[in-house]
Chain A
Amino acid sequence: MRTWMTFGAVAVIVGGAIALAGCGPAPQGDKPAASGGSGGKAEFSGTLTVAGSDTMVNIAQAWAKEFMVENPNVQIAVKGGGSGTGITALINGQVDIANASREMKAEEKDRLKAKGDAAETKVARDGIAVIVNAANNVEALTKDQLGRIYRGEITNWKDVGGADQTIALISRDPSSGTYEYFKEAVVGKDKNYAKSAKLLPSTQAIVDEVKSNAGAIGYVGVGYESADIKVVAVDGVKASVATVVDGTYGLSRGLYMYTNGQPKDLAKAFIDWVLSAPGQKAVTDQGFVPVG
């Protein structure tokens, strides 16, 4: 008898705990409570979900961290997953802000139209550096050669002035904004990447593979350059913050934050902060280019 009672009591407690965990207010999102009187910074509170571009995930986390230090009642959750993933999440209503390293496509804007309007804010700029293995003696490529390499039309380094070695194409996977941007800018809008291109799940994976594969070529944001890999000049210009700022580097792009409708409340506060001096300083610290 006693064991039944114990069992029953435990079952009720466990069931009650589970049920209560499901109750509670639904996540409200951004409702800032401005405090302080006239003058003085308004303190915000609430939660914000940000997801999308892997290129932007480090800078977005840095922004979130600093903003949360200045506004302790704010919780900002930042995730990667690729620009495509972030935009899809925005369309599905799962996030407040989508980070994207490419512009929203027309079909995506249409899908969002059913629930609102896409509002785009450019928050930084980025250059796409073309990287090769440190032992590769190729120093420069034209954009046309780069396109032909990535479409699979050129398959050996000796055809572009290098050693006799098969070119190993490294790319991001299709959920990446960098993949889409590179496809439009280099491969060709109506063309496709070569079938032999390796579609790796993250920028770090690309850097790792280019470091260890003598015939590899890959593309990463300027912020990911490191000493173990070699940056190739494209059309005579090497990717760097300086060449993106003065516009001489061809593969430059904007980094965007998208919201459903014009940003309001906490989202607006966060985006305004990102565009302000401390936010743009973080951009430079991370190796990207301020929006200028």
Chain B
Amino acid sequence: MSESQESKRARRGRAAARRAAEAVAGRLIALSGWSAIALLTAIAAFLVTNAWKAASSPVAGLGRMLTGTSWYPTGTPPSFGFLAYVVATLRVTGVALVIAVPVGIGAAVYISEFANGRLKDLAKSVIEFMAAVPSVVYGLMGVYVVGPWVKAAFHMSSALTALSAGIVLSFMALPTIISISEDAMHSVPSALRQGSLALGNTRWQTTRKVVVPAASSGIFASVMLGLGRAIGETMVVLMVAGNSMELTWSLTTSARPLTAVIAGEMGEVVQGGLHYSALFVIGLTLFVVTFLVNLAADVVLERQRARWRR
């Protein structure tokens, strides 16, 4: 039965509508992609514009800010050296990674290679949940639970130290590291595992000698992302780390990471002033560091994906 003129026209009309819809959808998606890039560029531009005043000021000055150890923006005369705070960020993040990396990779190995179905699902859900807990809740845990425990366990005089803050931060970096490492190990082809087992390796030997090296790029990327999370965390360090200006590598002393400086002082600065701009220099430092860490993670992840693509 041949088509009538009517239904032919209708069919062509629907085809045209579908093509139009696809073109529109394609443009919208492209727009979303470009707008994400535009947003990031706008943020970078915003930071640089507002940081310019302090970075080029004779009183502050970028070099002096990065190497100076006295941060007294409301003092007479004001000084804007935040080196002590950079070291504080490193201390707190260092503790977080030293705890989160072994525990996280170990947990990922267990979930990926050794856990049975039900436990695996339960573990993955719990980890996703951990990632969703608001950071201020972790802060409260740090002040009332972890801090006093650390104080008692290490016989310290104060609960507000870099160590306490680092421990709480490790709880926050753990879900990221576990999820992404587990994904990396999961994507190692089972042919590799089976080959290794066929050659006589035990499951643990297979994991240690075949799966983990094969997934190493993804694991490295997960560590980088966990590091990014720890560097950028604000509420926890503001409440738990003690916020002092001492330039020291000691873990039993208080620390004031860069994020806590911004959070603690941004509310009281007058817009456009030198102190305001100095805080933006700190923000720009954080932005650059986090950007580089994430870039490294992306490059490594891409290599991992390319290696296993058929």
Contact = CB atoms under 8 A, between A and B. Distances in A.
By secondary structure, the B interface counts as: loop
A168 B158 CA distance: 8
Interface residues of A, number: 37
Contacts of B256: 199
- Among A82, A198, A205, the one with the most B-chain Cβ atoms within 10 Å of its Cβ is A198
- Among A88, A111, A165, the one with the most B-chain Cβ atoms within 10 Å of its Cβ is A88
B245 A92 contact: no
A174 interface: yes
Given A168-B158, A209-B158, A174 B74 contact: yes
Contacts of B130: none
Contacts of B73: 174
B238 A201 contact: yes
Contacts of B158: 168, 198, 209, 212-213, 216
Contacts, number: 87
- By size class, the interface of chain B is 20 to 34
Interface stretch (A10-18, A21-29, A141-149, A188-196): A188-196
Contact of B264 (A174, A195, A215): A174
B86 to A, nearest CB: 15
Given A92-B271, A213-B158, A192 B72 contact: yes
A212 B159 contact: yes
Nearest to A4: B21
A197 B244 contact: yes
A164 B244 CA distance: 22
The 10 closest A-B pairs by CB, nearest first: A84-B268, A85-B267, A175-B268, A195-B245, A199-B243, A173-B264, A198-B242, A213-B158, A192-B72, A198-B244
Interface of B: 69-70, 72-76, 84, 143, 148, 151, 157-160, 238-239, 242-247, 254, 256, 264-265, 267-271
22 contacts: A84-B268, A85-B267, A111-B270, A166-B157, A168-B157, A168-B158, A175-B265, A189-B76, A190-B75, A190-B76, A192-B72, A195-B244, A195-B245, A198-B160, A198-B242, A199-B244, A199-B256, A200-B242, A208-B143, A209-B160, A212-B158, A216-B158
Interface of A: 81-85, 87-88, 91-92, 107-108, 111, 165-166, 168, 173-175, 180, 189-190, 192, 195-201, 205, 208-209, 212-216
